[in-house]
Structure 1
Amino acid sequence: MKKVILFSRNDLVNLYGGIGQHLIGAINIVHLAYSKEEEQILRERYNVVDIINFKGEISQLIGQEQIDLDLIHQIDQLIIDQTNNRFCLNSCIQSDRTFANMDYNEILILVQVYYKFWNNLIEKLRFDCLLHEPVALFFLQIASVICKKHGAEYLTQIQVFGETKYNWIFVSADSGFSIEMPKALAEIDSSDEDKHKRAEKFLDNFRKDFELILPELASKDRNSGTANVFGFWLKIIKTIAKHIFNKRENKQEGSDPENALERYLSRNKSRLSDRLKNLWDEQFYLRYDNFDPNKDYYYYPMHMEPEAVVLYWGDGIYKNQIKLIENIAAQLPPNSFLYVKVHPIVKEERHFIDYKRVRAIPNVKLLGSAVSGKLIISQCKGLLTINGTSGFEAVLLNKPVYVFGNSFYDLSNRVFKIKNIRDLREVLYQNHNQVLKDDESLYRFVLAYLQISHPGYTAYYSNYRELLKIGHNKNVEEVSIGIKEYFT
């Protein structure tokens, strides 16, 4: 029987608490709670008895910790080896936004403590898999590195398009690569008529309209000519109220190094004047361009920040999306434009100056989130992305995809991996007039993808599930079936 650690942090506690109940007897489940809050929910709501408290364990370890340079060098080499040279210790540190403005020695202490925690845990429990959200912070990346060292998996579930309303697949939490896709592709026989029809049906269903995907989660464009003024002032009031609430809540958090994440959140939410000015500028000064499908154009959909795809799945290189956009625009063929679309889900408000910089680039047009991404893709010369799901949409719409990071659709022959921005111009020029059509390779890729996808909703972040009106009990039962299939 496989031993799987379910690491509950924030809203994931409800997903993992629920599926843990359905997997009893099929998988050996170990519950790891991020803090006392998640531990309490697991005990009271899901009747879990044995729980490891992550922050509690870290607090005990950190008290007596001193910097050990030999251990630091050992950790550095381990990261280099286990990430195949994608990262070293310092690039990991730079990718963790919670380490910003922390003392370097404090960071090294935390590095050692996180390493010791995960190394001790896997040596003690000998688990087969850690299941959690994508790597977005160092304490998760070092978990991934140590899992690889010991032959365990660190997996995450991401929402994808499928044959039911909500679907998910397993990917490597460290890179976003689908670990099941190579085997699935090797085993697919697309010459089977029924399978061929299945692929065609999936593609037809995906292409039947160009409506926004999950419009319930999309933020509204704030242009002074179209935005509701009452809605704007309501946003201002909510921002102030949330600031006051968070300030009170964060006073309860200590200043110890193990509270780095909480201190980051506190700092980020304390700049009330900056946030209000940003909202004002976006409302009254930001202008979006009109979408013209008749232009010769490429498409770059902006990624949500902070997010794993920008920080870790992009190998820590593409943290500055604005600079990446400038570099892409500079490589385009003459008389070609780059449409840049604002991400429909805003996790943290982007600075207004970023949008000004984008609009200042002569061959770039800035689009609001209300424009359908699928519509933009349908007429583009190619899509450029670090590794977002829009790249997968482009694959299904027969468009070349230029990927700077790592993604679950890497194995499609529609995807071109760009390792260096200086290599982009040559491949863009080569493919500029290329027209892709449905072929055997696309059908094989689609069938392999459908084989590894599972029904259910796993994006238990913020209040997304509530906004989509997804029933919790039925959903966790459905998700549990896919997990059981994978591990048994």
Structure 2
Amino acid sequence: MNILLLSNSAPKYFHFFNALAARFRNDGATVAVAVDSAFSRKENGLDSAGFAAVYDFSSFFANHKVDFDILERYSGYNLNSALLSDFERAQTYGIWGNSADLDFFDRLKSALLTFFERIFEQHGTELVLYENVSNTFAHFALFVAQERRAVYIGLGASRLPGRFSVSGDPLADDSVERNFAAIRGGYKTVEPDVHRWVKDYIANIETIVPDYMKINGLERIALIKRYFRRDRLARIRALLRHVSDSRINSFQIGNPLRTHTSLFLRNVRRRLKAGTVRGMYQKAVAGERFLLYPMHFHPEASTSILAGAYLDEYEVIRNIAFSLPEGTRLYVKDHISAWAYPTLDFYRRIRSLPNVRLLGPHEPTKELIKSSVGVITLTSTVGYEALLLKKRVFLYGRVFYEFHKGVVPIANPANLRRIISGGLASPIGWDDQYNHDFVCAYWLSTLPGTLNLMLDRVPAVQAAEHIYRELLKAGLLHGLAAIKSAA
């Protein structure tokens, strides 16, 4: 089997993925790696990790001229939408500065397609390995894999504790829905131990926290513990070696020194704003009728890929505020990992809207769900939890629970008042057995194991061994059908 691993500058991810690639090699696979930049190539230790070949996109991109023929050949894929995840990231972190003009984006699309096509030809790629499609680099690898009838295995955390997901095209992943239909139709039998697990999980949903929320650490705003550590000196030296790098050839990391400086200053600003932001938060009012809107982290694949039309959350919240049925409030709850990152003006504008209360990130989410008349969200886990607590969910984006009977899709925000009014007037049409079968279907669409991509080297090797064995046991590495496309 010929495998192409994707690698970039996501902190510590390389520990896990290099170890997973080594495990594939030990079983006879040939593994090459495509990396976003020379900086990541060095920092991730790719040249000494035993890969059959290392393909550096930044070097390729520096000399690439637009090939309009390849853009035409792939015009059936949503190439422009696939740019959005890294565009939002570049805008948020100031990665490209003013260097990205109109021609840059055509050249980037053309270069990514050409880069991956050449790798597939030279390496005979059968399988692409990475996390869930979460950025432009991965999205274009997915397009070429789909065109070449290859397989994309994207590993990700699930909302179920102690289980992880495997997906290909995030916009075409209907595994939960298919399993649910099979369970409800009597075509799939759920083992007794799974029933017991699901029953216990739903009974304790009010206290359960998904694995990914326990490990990201983004709610912490202290600067000294985060930056003033001995291991940061080596990082600074590495950044200084790239002081003259282009801001656009390495399109994901940009100039590493500039980008990391921007990230540091963003966290400094967050720390300085934190007290003022805390003072803007309000409290829930007992007995008040309200919809709950959980704010999202930006930039993140759950929004830029699965809800790309709704990235401006102020505009989303404002539209909801002016579309609410009379007598209903909107409670906007800040995100535990993102609070105080938005500007003070953003918070002031939220506070100025009619019908809106702004709540802090530490307000009890499950209690708010239970007290609400429903949840309105882009793609949040809060929507999933609300369904299990038998609350209506109004959904903007694409997410695994979108087919649930309790979800009201917001297909046209111009009709939002009618959508909300109609949804709230409808009786709760699902029972405990429906939710039980729904979670069983989700359980069957995941595999056992906690996926933590932020581990240090030794625990990452152990985690990679476990994930590899689960992929083998699930049969995902033998005769896997070509991935389904949403194109």
The TM-score, its normalising length taken from structure 2, stands at 0.79
Is residue 404 of structure 2 the alignment partner of residue 412 of structure 1?
yes
Match of 1:365 in 2: 357
Q: 1:168 aligned to 2:164?
A: yes
* 1:36 positional shift: 5.3
Does the C-alpha gap of structure 1 residues 199 and 92 become closer, same or farther in structure 2, counting only changes over 3 Å?
same
Measured after TM superposition, the shift of residue 300 of structure 1 is: 1.5
- Supply the AA of the counterpart residue of 2:326: P
Counterpart for residue 117 of structure 1: 115
1:487 Cα deviation after fit: 2.3
Q: Which amino acid aligns with 2:450?
A: Y
SS of 1:79's partner is coil
Deviation at 1:406, TM superposition (A): 1.1
Alignment of 1:130-209 (within 5 A): 130-162=128-160, 165-175=161-171, 177-188=172-183, 195=191, 198-199=194-195, 201-208=197-204
**Could you say which residue in structure 2 is the equivalent of 1:454?**
447
Q: Number of residues paired by the alignment?
A: 459
Q: Could you tell me which residue of structure 1 aligns to residue 379 of structure 2?
A: 387
Quote how far apart the aligned CAs of 1:304 are: 0.8
Per the alignment, in what secondary structure is the counterpart of residue 251 of structure 2?
A: helix
* Matches of 1:348 and 1:359, distance apart in 2: 14
**Aligned partner of 2:467 among 473, 479, 482:** 479
Aligned-pair distance for 1:107?
3.1
Q: CA contact under 8 A between 2:330 and 2:357: conserved in structure 1?
A: yes
How far apart in 1 are the matches of 2:192 and 2:289? 33
Distance 1:29 1:457, change over 3 A: farther
Matched, 1:15 2:6: no
2:368 is aligned to 376
Deviations 1:178-203 (Å, cap 9, x if unpaired)? 34334423432687997588446524
Q: Would you say 1:442 and 2:443 are equivalent positions?
A: no
Are the aligned partners of 1:159 and 1:167 in contact in 2 as well (CA < 8 Å)? Answer: yes
Deviation at 1:131, TM superposition (A): 2.4
What is the alpha-carbon root mean square deviation over aligned residues? Answer: 3.9
Distance (whole Å) between structure 1 residues aligned to residue 340 and residue 147 of structure 2: 34
| Letter paired with 1:158 | G
Change (3 A) 1:389 1:171: farther
Superposed CA offset, 1:405-450 (max 9, x none)? 2112223222222222123322221221433552443333222111
Deviations 1:317-338 (A, max 9, x none): 1121111111122222112122
Distance (whole Å) between structure 2 residues aligned to residue 3 and residue 39 of structure 1: 20
8 Å CA contact retained: 1:147, 1:153: yes
Counterpart Cα distance in 2 of 1:201 and 1:150: 40
- Choose between structure 1 and 2 for higher RCO, CA contacts under 8 A separated by at least 6 residues: 2
- Residue 252 of structure 1 and its aligned partner are, at CA, apart by 1.1
Deviations along 1:165-217, one digit per CA (max 9) or x if unpaired, are 42111233543x53433442343268799758844652443442634724564
* Corresponding residue for residue 59 of structure 1: 59
Residue 293 (structure 1) shift: 5.7
Aligned to 2:311: 319
Structure 2 runs not aligned, ≥5 long: 479-487
Distance of 1:158 and 1:448 partners within structure 2: 17
Of the three residues 94, 101, 104, the one matched with 2:102 is: 104
Give the corresponding residue for 1:258.
249
Offset, 1:305:
0.8
Instruction: Provide the residue aligned with 1:226 in structure 2.
Output: none
Alpha-carbon separation, structure 1, partners of 2:458 and 2:378: 30
For residues 408 and 326 of structure 1, the distance between their equivalents in structure 2, rounded to whole angstroms, comes to 26
Q: Is the 8 Å Cα contact of residues 167 and 456 (structure 1) preserved in structure 2?
A: yes
Higher deviation after alignment, 196-205 or 134-143: 196-205
Tell me whether 1:249 sits opposite 2:239 in the alignment.
Answer: yes
User: SS state of the match for residue 487, structure 1?
Assistant: coil
The amino acid that maps onto 1:475 is A
Shift of 1:307: 0.7
Cα deviation 1:219-244 (Å, max 9, x = unaligned): 5598xxxxxxxx6x8589869x9899
Shift of 1:42: 6.9
Q: Cα 1:210–1:92, aligned 2, differ >3 Å: closer, same or farther?
A: closer
Give the CA deviation at 1:142.
2.0
Matched residue of 2:436: which SS?
A: helix
